Amino acid sequence: MYSDETSIRELLQRVLSYSRASQTEVIYLRTTSDLTRFTNNYVHQNVSEKDYELRVRAIVGKRSGVATTNKLDDESLRRVTEQALEVARTQTEDPEFYSLPLPGNVSSSTSPGYNVYTANYSAEERARHVNTIVQLAKERKLEAGGAFATNVYHTAVANSLGVFAYEPRTEAECHAVVINEDQESGYAQRMTIDARNIDFERIAREAIDKAQRSRNPLAIPAGVYPVVLDAYAVADMLQNLVFMGLSAGAVHEERSFMNDQFGKQLVSPLITIYDDGYDPAGLPQTFDFEGVPKQRVVMIERGVAQAVVYDSFTAGREHKPNTGHALPAPNSFGPMPLHTMMEAGEHSLEEMIGKIDHGIYVTRFQHTNPLHPLRTIFSGTTRDGTFLIEHGELTRPIKNLRFSQSILDTLRATQAVGKDRIQYVDYIPIVAPALYSTQFHVTGIAS
């Protein structure tokens, strides 16, 4: 039900016809999620979930209200439009509200983010690929755990001004944590729209290698170290940077590190960070949650602060172009770059490690939190493979480290960027390479 363009268009137009608001927006989200979890070298859970949500935003003058439902019978559709209208009437006016967006050039005939193979993936196929990881761990007397998920999304947006946008999307994500007898671990993850692109043996070998190398870790003193951050750690760092102010809302509220920095050299010329909903390196999504086509936005180009992203509200308020980065209303974030990527460099991981005489290598972080957004300071711990670098080589494992570090300082001190990128997801997907920086502040041992 309501899983193709024709039926979804009819549904949204019906809801719009029921609304008595001056302007109305309807969002339809349908999700099919299939997941295989494994731990202690065996599959312990297969789950499948289908869900859908319909969101109505009613505009009355400069007031807006939102109501949601997961019931799609006619009575429920009429009720949710009335609820949105009643909510709008109780709100105070927002003098900066301009209008819902007008129609843009959104093509719904093809979707670069959809793959039929991923959409039809079976539980048996997921279990078979998970078994590749499990068996390689077993052979080395290690324990593997993790998950392999395939998801299908149908997203549609319509409004009373003529906007209609629809696309299906898919994603496949597999991650594995391999643990040795000392409870030290290694990690690997891959994410893509096409599940056939995931190399499960490579995931296993990457996590196994780090788990085997992590036996008997040593403690190192606090201090500032040169560091090679693997792509997982860089992606986590960039995720924090996104939340610290790569949106027009954050700049307007003067809580962004980009304030008063546009046109200035902010970080190393080796660093270019952009958002592109069409880039096949990520999870393509061609329009935002207002049905506006996504634009490629280069936020930091060769180290220079260039731009932030906009939705219809912030664009109307500031008389700027709408870049198509709206989240579903209401939200406290404003526009958000959900397809953030760092441009690749020219170096292999081994070449970057080879540049360091005494430093550390970090696979990834955990429990990261922003401490000072304007100074881009965040904290957390390392995990799943932290190693000492001595004379250009990985040598001894290190106990997990606590750190407190300015992200911009790390990017300013970047000396090399990796040529290979991966997509990593925690809260939002990020495409990132590894990098080598001379600036990383270790504050102590985590474990």
pLDDT digits (tens, 9 = 90+) for 16-61: 999 999 999 999 999 999 999 999 999 999 999 999 999 999 999 9
Residues near 6 by beta carbon (within 8 Å), at least 6 away in sequence: none
Q: Does 153 fall in a domain? A: yes
- Is 287 domain-assigned? no
What pLDDT, on the 0 to 100 scale, is given for residue 236?
97
Whether 382 shows a pLDDT value over 70: the answer reads yes
Q: Is the peptide bond prior to 330 cis by the omega test (within 30 degrees of 0)?
A: yes
How big is the chain, counted in residues? 447
Sequence-ordered list of residues with C-beta below 8 angstroms from that of 110, at least 6 positions apart, any chain: none
pLDDT at 1 over 90: no
Residue 391 and residue 358 share a domain: yes
What was the pLDDT predicted at 107? 55
Cα separation, 72 vs 67, whole angstroms: 13
Q: How far apart (Å, rounded) are the C-alpha atoms in residues 259 and 261?
A: 5
221 domain-assigned: yes
Rama region for 98: left / alpha / beta (φ>0; ψ in -120 to 50; rest): alpha
User: Looking at residue 140, what is its pLDDT?
Assistant: 96
292 lies in a domain? no
Q: Is the pLDDT of residue 267 over 60?
A: yes
Within this chain, do residues 231 and 127 fall inside the same structural domain, yes or no?
Answer: no
Domain residues for the domain of 383 are: 216-238+344-445
Alpha-carbon span 320 to 257, nearest angstrom = 20
Query: Looking at the structure, do residues 378 and 403 belong to the same domain, yes or no?
Result: yes
CA distances to 273, 306, 328, 412 from 270, rounded to whole Å, are 10, 15, 34, 9
10 Å Cβ neighbour count for 86?
13
Q: Which two tokens stand for residue 87?
A: 């909510």
Do 49 and 182 sit in the same domain of this protein?
Answer: yes
Q: Is residue 96 part of a domain?
A: yes
278 part of a folded domain: no
* Co-location of 122 and 44 in the same domain: yes
**Mean pLDDT for all residues in the chain:** 96
For residue 176, which of 216, 136, 215 has the smallest C-alpha distance?
136
pLDDT value for 139: 96
C-alpha torsion 440→441→445→447, nearest 10: -50
Question: Does residue 101 sit in the same domain as residue 227?
Answer: no
- In this structure, the answer to whether residues 44 and 176 fall within a common structural domain is yes
Q: Domain total for the chain?
A: 2
What global pTM score does this model have?
A: 0.96
pLDDT of the residue at 53 = 97
**Model confidence at 11, in pLDDT bands (50, 70, 90)?**
very high
C-alpha atoms less than 13 angstroms from C-alpha of 314 in its C-beta half-sphere: 23
Question: Which residue, 187, 206, 225, sits at the end of a domain?
Answer: 206
Q: Could you tell me which of 153, 152, 163, 154 has the C-alpha nearest to residue 57? A: 163
Residues 96 and 197 in one domain: yes
Show the tokens assigned to 120.
């039809």
Tokens representing 292 are 């506006």
Determine, yes or no, domain membership for 137: yes
When pLDDT is cut at 50, 70 and 90, the band that residue 204 belongs to is very high
Residues 113 and 25 in one domain: yes
80 and 68 Cβ atoms separated by less than 8 Å: yes
pLDDT-derived band at 441, boundaries 50, 70, 90: very high
SS3 350: helix
Q: Are residues 96 and 164 in the same domain?
A: yes
pLDDT tens-digit series, residues 292-350? 999 999 999 999 999 999 999 999 999 999 999 999 999 988 999 999 999 999 999 99
- pLDDT mean over 249-266: 97
